[in-house]
Structure 1
Amino acid sequence: MSRAALAAVATETKHTEIRKVSLPEVKSDTGILKIEIVGVCGTDVAYYENLKAPMILGHHVVGYIDEVGELASKRWGVKQGDRVVMEEYIPCGQCEMCRTGYYRLCSNTNPRENGIRYGATPIAVEPSLYGGFSQYLYLHPNAVLHKIPSHVPDVEAALALPLSNGFEWMRIVGGIGPGQVVVIQGPGQQGLACALAAKASGAETVIMTGRNSSSERLKLALELGADYTVNVSSENLVDRVSEITNGKMADLVIDVTSGGTDPVVSSLEAAKTGGTVLLGAAKYKRFNDFDLDIIYNKTLTVKGVRGHSYKSVQMAVDFIASGKFPLAMMNSHNFKLSDTDLALRTAAGETDPSRLLVTVSPWL
């Protein structure tokens, strides 16, 4: 008799239901993952609130290899029982983007181009188990995964992908190193990850910004290593950065707020001449009456950032495994599979505006 997984299937906007989904037969180049925990991401919330087709959401996945084919075992360097962190990408491995290390931009893993990706693939695509809000996950031949030690607490392991973005944007893209000043706009998952990565990369001064509604997160940023916080609801960011840096301003500013024009403008203003501004918020609108001269006059580098690389995920895994930072405090809620709707609403801020990392443990 074939085995089945219980999964929280998003069947319509803002609604999931628990269903049994058959596990596929494992072939030589595939496998099955028994999911231990999955983090809830803002992308999951976006799909949940604007669902296009029934699917199993969730892509910050940690689990144990349940079954694995012979070829897949050799390719991934894993065996049954190994604990791994999954990347969401399922790239083709052959296109120019994949060949040059930018597989996160491969069209085969872009849902907008009918690609497949963990946490964003309709259940109509067999074998359906492409999401983390489930007891088991299908390991596609092109899946990307990383081993993670067994001593790492599950809620910390679930931080691997958010932290990988921090390392990608701060260290690999931003080139942050000793003696530099970083301003991070937005104290959510991504902002806190950037603060941790910036300090781990040697930044001398990390300044986190937020609003009145983010007061608890600003406190957490200080506990995680940020040097200063700025409440932009009551303080002028540019004045405070000038005061903190004795007029030097920031080497790098990143915007990971919920989007909009104001954080972008203040980011450009807070950067030093010759500095870098990274745009990492997902919902930018068209700018009207925006003076581009500031970019020219200050010879700024302005760049959009999106996703992570294999290297940055491995950096995050090693960082977590070191146990040097109190990462467990970033987890505020953990839910069982039957409460997936509540987990998604909590991550969206509907039930607790001070929520941090929200997770789901399918076997609770």
Structure 2
Amino acid sequence: MYLDPSCVMHPIPDDLPVELAVMTNSLANAVEWSVQTPGTRLGDHVVLLGCGQRGLMSVVAAKAAGAKTVVVTGLSHDQHKLKLARQLGADAAVDVQNEALRPIVADVTGGDMADVVVDLTPMDVGSLGVAVEVAADGGCLVIAGLKSGRPTQVDTDVLVRRGLSLRTGLSARSAAFTQAVSLLDGRREAFSRLHTHRFPLDNVVGALDALRGNAPTPAISVVVDTK
């Protein structure tokens, strides 16, 4: 394998199972977006919009950073992911197609609302407005879900008057990868719950189909293995 002189390598424990090792990149994103970018601190209330792979990993990352409460959102077809979010430590997992989010966040946080809101929902142009609704004054909003060029309309006066800060997340820096490896190694049982499918190298198409939702059981993290 050719390694460019500028690349950064992150060693992983020799006994870390491959199904966990492949989560390093996704977890590094979760650490970057839900912890490092907003500066999540001990006692913070965190709302994660979206319960995909990175959203679920952000539950563990935010709790590990000291978040007092974590609320995760999803859609009606995400019940298996919302259930898993609770198992991973989320204080509330909300089906936003059938439940109003703001009252739940208010209840879980004792009326304080969210210090950090991370938007992990791709294509949803209304998610930033939702983030503003559930954020506490002075809170931090992190946009990590790309909208593919679709315009997002938010009254910037509201951001200014309420002292909200707006950050973005695209990838992860080296420090986030280091923390991701440490988290994976230290919380193997938790992350093993995200592993759902394994495919041989000659069936990459099957792995992609599983991620598209074309599998008997819902996919979250899929491994393509050479063994």
Runs of 4+ in 1 over 6 A off after TM superposition: none
Tell me, yes or no, if structure 1 residue 286 matches structure 2 residue 156.
Answer: no
Partner of 1:310: 174
Partner of 2:46: 182
**Paired residue secondary structure (1:218):** helix
1:192-211 equivalent positions in 2, closer than 5 A: 192-211=56-75
Contact kept? 1:166, 1:196, Cα under 8 Å = no
Work out the number of aligned pairs and report it.
Answer: 226
- AA partner of residue 151 (structure 2): R
Partner of 1:257: 121
Tell me, yes or no, if structure 1 residue 328 matches structure 2 residue 184.
Answer: no
Contact kept? 2:114, 2:135, Cα under 8 Å = yes
1:327 shift after superposition? 1.1
Contact kept? 2:91, 2:108, Cα under 8 Å = no
1:1-364 equivalent positions in 2, closer than 5 A: 32=1, 138-284=2-148, 285-288=150-153, 290-323=154-187, 325-351=189-215, 354-361=218-225, 363-364=226-227
Distance (Å, rounded) in 2 between the aligned partners of 1:317 and 1:169 = 16
**CA 205–186 in structure 1, closer or farther in 2 if over 3 Å, else same:** same
1:352 shift after superposition? 5.7
Distance (Å, rounded) in 2 between the aligned partners of 1:320 and 1:195 = 13
Contact kept? 1:217, 1:354, Cα under 8 Å = no
Structure number with higher relative contact order (C-alpha < 8 Å, ≥ 6 residues apart): 2
- AA partner of residue 318 (structure 1): S
1:229 shift after superposition? 0.8
Distance (Å, rounded) in 2 between the aligned partners of 1:352 and 1:175 = 39
Structure 1 residues 46-88: Cα deviation after superposition (integer angstroms, max 9, x where no partner): xxxxxxxxxxxxxxxxxxxxxxxxxxxxxxxxxxxxxxxxxxx
Contact kept? 1:257, 1:281, Cα under 8 Å = yes
1:283 shift after superposition? 2.0
1:324 shift after superposition? 5.6
- AA partner of residue 256 (structure 1): L
**CA 237–142 in structure 1, closer or farther in 2 if over 3 Å, else same:** same
- Report the structure number with the largest CA radius of gyration: 1
- AA partner of residue 245 (structure 1): T
Q: CA RMSD in A?
A: 1.6
**Paired residue secondary structure (2:47):** strand
Q: Counting strand residues as a fraction of each chain, which structure ranks higher?
A: 1
Contact kept? 1:277, 1:302, Cα under 8 Å = yes
Partner of 1:80: none
Task: Give the TM-score, by structure 2 length.
Answer: 0.93
Percent identical: 31
Distance (Å, rounded) in 2 between the aligned partners of 1:148 and 1:230 = 34
**CA 354–263 in structure 1, closer or farther in 2 if over 3 Å, else same:** farther
Structure 1 residues 230-282: Cα deviation after superposition (integer angstroms, max 9, x where no partner): 11011111121112222210000001012222221111110000001100002
Structure 1 portions without partners, runs of 5+: 1-31, 33-137
Distance (Å, rounded) in 1 between the aligned partners of 2:135 and 2:30 = 19
Distance (Å, rounded) in 2 between the aligned partners of 1:272 and 1:230 = 19
**CA 314–215 in structure 1, closer or farther in 2 if over 3 Å, else same:** same
